[in-house]
Amino acid sequence: MTIEIRQLGRVDYTPTYAAMQAFTAARTADTPDELWICEHPPVFTQGLAGLAGHVLVPGDIPVVATNRGGQVTYHGPGQVVAYPLIDLKRAGYFVKEYVYRVEEAVIKTLAHFGVTGHRVAGAPGIYVRLDDPTAHALLPQRPQKSALGTAPDFTGLGKIAALGIKVSRNCTYHGVALNVAMDLEPYSRINPCGYAGLQTVDLSTIGVSVDWADAATVLSQKLATYLVP
């Protein structure tokens, strides 16, 4: 199994979303998997079950309704957006493992740049310690059996990567967004991923200077590696 990586550059969100849907609808059992890497002009995207109340003051930034999971998030310049278009049936793993593999690719990407990424129980995506982004100590709020059913605890953390997916006929689209060097102000206009007060960070604000292209290359390589069974 191989994945064809397509570098799309900066593209508008809505036609890219439509292209993912068209690709997924048209694909057959023999269609090669693809990984689309891009960035978007400023846009808020709302998940399928997203609550309007989480969009506070969008101002001049458009809000686009989508069919992915999750609540509202922001896309903008300086963020690497990755859309894996994967046939899970052919890959031989289920959605839960797919999410784990995508998150692991982000964690390994951050590690490449000297940052420790963390999972939080009950909250998809990847987080960093605000006081020490390089610390390797395990989070008390990491996913574990004892944390089942508890509300996510973001104490001391900033979200650096958001995840939102859709699976249709066992095939994935939408994906993951890694914040590299952004204007983070638009996150104050929403409750990120449905959590009021959740702090959002990028590599730049935690002291890591990385070119968008370099981050995009590493993330695409890690995804291509971790999504192969």
Q: Which residues are catalytic?
A: 193
Asked if 41 contacts 13 with a C-beta cutoff of 8 angstroms, the reply is yes
Asked if 229 contacts 8 with a C-beta cutoff of 8 angstroms, the reply is no
Q: CA-to-CA distance for 175 and 102, rounded, in angstroms? A: 8
Run of H or E residues at 128: strand 123-129
Asked if 123 contacts 62 with a C-beta cutoff of 8 angstroms, the reply is no
**By C-alpha distance, which of 8, 57, 61 is closest to 175?**
8
Residue 121 structure tokens: 């129980």
Residue 176 structure tokens: 């993951």
Give the gyration radius of the chain's Cα atoms: 17
Q: CA-to-CA distance for 24 and 181, rounded, in angstroms? A: 31
